Structure 1
Amino acid sequence: MNTITMRPPVAAPKGDRSFWLQSIAADAVTPPLKGSADCDVAIVGGGYAGLWTALRIKEQAPETRVSVLEADFCGSGASGRNGGQVHSWFAEIDMLRALVGEDDALMLCRATADAIEELNGLQASGAIDMDLRLDGWLWTASSTAQEGAWAAARDLSRTLAEDRLHPLQRADILRRTGSDVSYVGIIEERAGTVQPAKLALGLRRLALERGIIIHEQSPVLEIVPGSTPQLRTACGVLSAGKVVLAANAWLSAIAELHAYLYVVSSQVIATAPARDVLEQIGWTDGASICDAQQHVLYYQRTPEGTVVFGRGTGGIAYADRIDARFNRSGDGGADNIREMHRVYPELKHVPVLYDWSGPIDCTAQHLPVFGHLKDHANIFYAMGFNGTGIAQTPVAGRIMASLVLGRDDAWSRCGLVGIEKRTRLPPEPLRYLGARVVRHAIRRKNDLEIINRKPGPVTRFLAGLAP
């Protein structure tokens, strides 16, 4: 019975928190764990995955005593730092089919579309004010190398009678985004944007209202497995019948999961409100927008006219040891500012007021995985959301609830359950050194392709080694 040692968290100082979190003064509202307590299910992580799992368990088995232990405060991690983009899994249906088969891929894609409607219902009922705007999600190309990146997903969706991804031309994109840099793409109409921190705190409030115990500022230092695992924090011990690990990139501390998980950073900036400029160029709605670079750009405008502009930078750390550099890059968001000014030259005189980053947990297949630890059938995990989670974590909650409650159903049997079918990643130091070489190649490839120049064969080969 080996103790599982968790990696100490690196909470972001208030000034390094995301625009989303700072704009609503998000912080902890529940007390840390002190002394001894017990529950039926303990969840490590108070982000989307952990909170949705808690809520789904309560929906299906209201008598279950559920406690959540969050290292900082709910939503302080990836759930409150992302780009606020809401879209279904239909954009990844080809990747899903390759991993889980056609039937499960279609079930999971439809479930994420249903999750978007669930979010819409939560907002319409007044349960969560999340600034949800279903004005569409655009996947676009701004260079010849990016053209058709969506073709496999679009064609498979049509084949399966799910015609959700519709073509866009330059005039459509200009009308919807106010930029003519991207000139072809697709749109998922029933998609859009949220204020992700508002969603996270709204889920926290729902959980508390439904009798779920939440202890913030309670990082789990170690877990002692057994028939009744014990989770130890600095000031307390929580005993539970079952444990759910939903701690994003921090799960890389567990050797069994680290073999399949790698951690990268994503950087985001936010401007001062620029409503007049945006209205002048015709960017007025709440659509979310991505391009098809390998280190993808993703952006939106808020109702107040702030532009939020993100990029998957691929920053890495040796042995996935996450430090303060993952909270803020130190370069003021220079990469993102350069790309934002390429896409929106009209914003060159609008100040950037916020820049932040954060670790993202990825698997080689770029899809999440669920299951239990090999030697501990009562310790479950949910990981690998790869930066796409707002419509996906409500589905993850269903999968996790079925696993935790021992249900034999479509969720517990779906192809995302079980790590054995996933690709094992190289050990250190090969993983770190190889990732640095590949990251450099991807950046060079992106920079050349964006000006319609073709990278050399060595650059293309090395960039192609990315998971």
Structure 2
Amino acid sequence: MNTTIFERQAPDPRAIAHSLEHVRSAVFWTEDVPERLRPRRPPLRGETTADLVVVGGGYAGLWTALLAKERDPARRVVVVEAHRVGWAASSRNGGFCEASLTHGDENGERRWPAEMPQLRRLGMENLDEIEAAEARYGIDFQFERTGQLSVAIEPHQVAWLEEAAAEAHADADAVLLDRNQVQATVASPTYLAGLWEQRTCGMLHPALFAAELARAAEERGVEIFERTQATGIDTPATGDVTVSTDLGSIRAKHVALATNAFPSLLRRNRLMTVPVYDYVLMTEPLTPEQLASIGWRDRQGLADLANQFHYYRLTRDNRILFGGYDAIYHYGRRVDGRYEHRPEAWERLASHLLTTFPQLEGVRFSHRWAGAIDTSTQFAAFFGHARSRRVAYAAGFTGLGVASTRFAAQVMLDLLEGVETERTQLEMVRRRPLPFPPEPFAAAGINATRWSLDRADHREGKRNLLLRGLDAVGLGFDS
């Protein structure tokens, strides 16, 4: 069995301990948003009515509410959120806003090959609309159209990059970098080659994005209620839908479900996603000398090509966010705050960052956190409607929802309105993925797959029988 670069060039354990000495468990993004942009909204008490109820106050729910008001300013739109706006994945992600609606071209080509030119175009149009949203709505979420740099950190990955470069579509504005070129761009001794797709990704501030979407929605008349747990949905044969909450109920013509990693109010979707926990570290702001030592002047989002991959980026004040690698599923499909505490994950991330940038030895981490990703078996969002088109849903973004939640919001509104659009005619939208099996089979299968992906990273990318079998039935996944 081979070793990976992170094992061959592991830093001194004392350097790891030093870097984590003063880290605390808190989400940097949330703390970085001014309180005036995160007002505490009251819960919904008693009974009320609306034209559209949106369940979930993350990106998908906020986009749905905002775009619904744009389509029909007269309709009453209500959002109910069990915690606070953007509390879950929408404030805990890395801020990579990617054009892909299919979790990368390879995943899309495997599942919807005939639609990929159309899906690429729709994804780029969607990203362009997000970039324009700051000016359109008079908001600021620190958007930078930097693109993303994928880096090879093992010899076998260089060929993967060359193949990806040959297949890159023109809109990506892709540049293949050899070893010297990539290290001149970002100075890591681990980089053997790079592919910089300059137009397909932007960086943004995740919690600020959620806060500003909420502000834009409220300015257009959307009502948002926090600390309001949706507990059930009742749809009689005809007439309005009733969403029950812990403190009351809402009767509405239409309901959009944007609960993502949390249990769906529709029984049919209970097995469609599983929550997988992702872990993140944030450094203190780099000194000018530290930043100069790594270059990174173009501020791209970065990711390596391992199956268990890392993603990392610079913040506006030049901190490094470093996350990924571990993706942990816990038996029972539960979203539980206890799963967010995993010291070994943060120690591993600290070690891997110091391997990537040994010149940063002495840097300290200020924040550590974790969150649940809503994973589907097709590794991209799925969509649908229920109860005579009175209910629509989207879920399963699998860690690539920052941009695609806007597309999902448009799809849900199309489905509720019963209109045929380019979006609703897509096979990607019309076809549901396979559900995950119930326990104990889900845990056994997911953990066996994760073990196999780790083994592939230690065998020059060679996939074992389990991974090849999943590939054959359309359930395979590459980072």
- With normalisation by structure 1, the TM-score equals 0.87
In structure 1, distance between residues paired with 2:188 and 2:135: 31
Provide the alpha-carbon RMSD of the alignment.
2.7
Q: 1:167 aligns to what?
A: 176
**Aligned AA (1:35):** G
In structure 2, distance between residues paired with 1:261 and 1:55: 26
State the Cα deviation string for residues 238-274 of structure 1 (Å, max 9, x = none).
1111111111111367542233322211111101111
Q: 1:95 aligns to what?
A: 107
The answer to whether the Cα contact below 8 Å between 2:276 and 2:372 also exists between their aligned partners in 1 is yes
In structure 2, distance between residues paired with 1:395 and 1:460: 30
**Aligned AA (1:442):** L
In structure 2, distance between residues paired with 1:456 and 1:406: 43
State the Cα deviation string for residues 355-396 of structure 1 (Å, max 9, x = none).
1111111112211111113x5532211111111122222222
| 1:146 correspondence with 2:165 | no
1:65 is aligned, of 73, 76, 80, to: 76
Q: 2:216 aligns to what?
A: 206
In structure 2, distance between residues paired with 1:162 and 1:332: 36
Q: 1:152 to 1:47 in 2, by over 3 A?
A: farther
Q: 1:28 to 1:315 in 2, by over 3 A?
A: farther
Q: 1:363 aligns to what?
A: 376
**Aligned AA (2:32):** S
- Of 335-344 and 173-182, deviating more is 173-182
In structure 1, distance between residues paired with 2:196 and 2:291: 21
Q: 2:18 aligns to what?
A: none
Q: 1:28 to 1:428 in 2, by over 3 A?
A: farther
In structure 2, distance between residues paired with 1:222 and 1:124: 38
SS of residue paired to 1:30: coil
| 1:333 correspondence with 2:346 | yes
Q: 2:15 aligns to what?
A: none
1:179 is aligned, of 182, 188, 192, to: 188
The answer to whether the Cα contact below 8 Å between 1:16 and 1:327 also exists between their aligned partners in 2 is no
Q: 1:354 aligns to what?
A: 367
1:344 is aligned, of 357, 360, 364, to: 357
SS of residue paired to 2:311: strand
1:290 is aligned, of 282, 303, 311, to: 303
Q: Paired residues, what number?
A: 444
**Aligned AA (2:411):** I
Q: CA deviation at 1:25?
A: 5.3
Q: 1:140 to 1:411 in 2, by over 3 A?
A: same
Any gaps of 5 or more consecutive residues in structure 2? Answer: 1-23
- With normalisation by structure 2, the TM-score equals 0.85
2:448 is aligned, of 426, 431, 437, to: 437
Q: 1:168 to 1:86 in 2, by over 3 A?
A: farther
Q: 1:280 aligns to what?
A: 293
The answer to whether the Cα contact below 8 Å between 2:389 and 2:416 also exists between their aligned partners in 1 is no
Q: CA deviation at 1:398?
A: 1.7
| 1:309 correspondence with 2:322 | yes
Q: CA deviation at 1:199?
A: 0.8
Q: CA deviation at 1:192?
A: 3.0
Q: 1:417 aligns to what?
A: 429
2:256 is aligned, of 235, 244, 251, to: 244
**Aligned AA (1:362):** T
The answer to whether the Cα contact below 8 Å between 1:288 and 1:299 also exists between their aligned partners in 2 is yes
**Aligned AA (2:219):** E
- Amino-acid identity (%): 28
The answer to whether the Cα contact below 8 Å between 1:445 and 1:459 also exists between their aligned partners in 2 is no
- Of 147-156 and 54-63, deviating more is 147-156
Q: 1:86 aligns to what?
A: 97
In structure 1, distance between residues paired with 2:112 and 2:285: 43
In structure 1, distance between residues paired with 2:444 and 2:124: 39
